[in-house]
Amino acid sequence: MTSTAPGTLTTSLQTVTDYRVIGRPRPLMWVATAVVIVVAAMVVFSIVTNPRFEWGVVADYFFSASILQGLWKTIELTVVSMVLGIIIGLIIALMRISSNPILNACAGVYVWFFRGTPLLVQLVILYNVSALYPQITIGIPFGPTFLSGNVNEIVTPYVVAVAALALNEAAYMAEIIRGGLLSVDHGQLEASKALGMSGGRAMRRIVLPQAMRFIIPPTGNEVLSLLKSTSLVSVIALPELLYSVQVVYSRTFETIPLLMVATIWYLIVTSILMIGQQALERLYSRGSSRSTSPAKGSLQRLTGIRLRRRATTTEGRR
């Protein structure tokens, strides 16, 4: 194996770093960029100048009381359903990774059912659950009953909407959380147990903080998807954003302008949620971020020479 003198290595590195890498010309990329810009400009111009969109009507109804109430109901449904979905999903995920075959099988059936059927079907079934169970009772199985009530009085449209959205979301969150937990090396859990930590404390202090880097991005996508899925509850006459818009345009017959109002509000809320998602991703990826590129860091470790030497060499030549 031949060895290289330190002086020769330093001189070679200085010579290499004095040159700037120039990429190959890509004329097709610039042509494609120009085509995309032209098409996008044409679409925007068509939307803005088309009188059939009736932007004046959009401005009149954008901050109306009924629309804002529907928007608030949409946000409320999203927050409540997502919190319940995460809690239930965490329980299902722990059952999925459990060594108990009964818990594992029950969790698998739950995920299979709620991921395998459309959310709209689940929503309609829950809305008509009184046809299957007219009375709800709480008590000891095969024993005395402590509390009973009429299902139609208990299961209101709001309860149905929250239950359907939360139960459906829990199935997806269970798989997301399970994947995040399995991404953490099992040796971390064994090391924490060797230090005397209980299983629950090791999960809270060791496993979950590391798994959050893999859980946060898909969870943010699920929040956005859930926000848009709240529009499905309009079929049970719950006055969220889409249903509020439908009530207005069924009276005024201004369908397109009112749908544009709903579209713009959905875009505004999803944009805010995307900004929050990016902030959380940066927060939980701080430990894995690198201040230098992989090639630069490897070269510095191998040679011990900082790549900023190029600037020093150039100043010396001047």
The number of domains in the chain is: 1
Reported confidence tier of residue 308, pLDDT bands at 50, 70, 90 = very low
pLDDT tens readout for residues 149-184: 778 888 889 999 999 999 999 999 999 999 888 888
3-state SS assignment for residue 104? helix
pTM here is 0.76
Find out whether 46 and 248 touch, Cβ atoms under 8 Å: no
Separation CA 114–CA 171 (nearest Å): 6
| DSSP secondary structure letter of residue 24 | P
Reported confidence tier of residue 283, pLDDT bands at 50, 70, 90 = confident
Instruction: Report the amino acid identity of residue 80.
Output: V
> Which range marks the domain in which residue 269 is found?
69-287
Higher per-residue pLDDT: 133 or 79: 79
Whether 32 is in a domain gets the answer: no
Predicted pLDDT at 80: 96
pLDDT tens readout for residues 108-151: 999 999 999 999 999 999 999 888 888 877 777 776 777 777 78
Count the alpha carbons within 13 Å of 202 in the hemisphere toward its beta carbon.
Answer: 17
Separation CA 113–CA 6 (nearest Å): 66
Q: What DSSP string runs through 53-66? A: G-HHHHHHHHT-HH
Separation CA 143–CA 149 (nearest Å): 17
Whether 60 is in a domain gets the answer: no
Whether 275 is in a domain gets the answer: yes
Predicted pLDDT at 301: 46
Whether 79 is in a domain gets the answer: yes
Task: Reduce the secondary structure of the chain to three states and give it as a string.
Answer: CCCCCHHHHHHHHHHHHCCCCCCCCCHHHHHHHHHHHHHHHHHHHHHHHCHHHCHHHHHHHHCCHHHHHHHHHHHHHHHHHHHHHHHHHHHHHHHHCCCCHHHHHHHHHHHHHHHHCCHHHHHHHHHCHHHCCCEEEEECCCCCEEEEEEHHHHCCHHHHHHHHHHHHHHHHHHHHHHHHHHHCCHHHHHHHHHCCCCHHHHHHHHHHHHHHHHHHHHHHHHHHHHHHHHHHHHHHCCCCHHHHHHHHHHHHCCHHHHHHHHHHHHHHHHHHHHHHHHHHHHHHCHHHCCCCCHHHHHHHHHHCCCCCHHHHHHHHHC
Whether 50 is in a domain gets the answer: no
Whether 231 is in a domain gets the answer: yes
Reported confidence tier of residue 22, pLDDT bands at 50, 70, 90 = low
Q: Within 10 Å of residue 147's Cβ, how many Cβ atoms? A: 8
Whether 266 is in a domain gets the answer: yes
Q: Which residue has the tokens 């880097």?
A: 213
Q: Which residue has the tokens 């689940």?
A: 122
pLDDT tens readout for residues 216-270: 888 989 999 999 999 999 999 899 999 999 999 999 889 999 999 999 999 999 9
**Structural element, H or E, at residue 146:** strand 145-150
Whether 138 is in a domain gets the answer: yes
Cα dist from 268 to 143, 224, 225, 273, whole Å: 53, 12, 14, 9
Find out whether 240 and 79 touch, Cβ atoms under 8 Å: no
pLDDT tens readout for residues 33-61: 999 999 999 999 998 888 888 899 999 99
CATH at residue 185? 1.10.3720.10
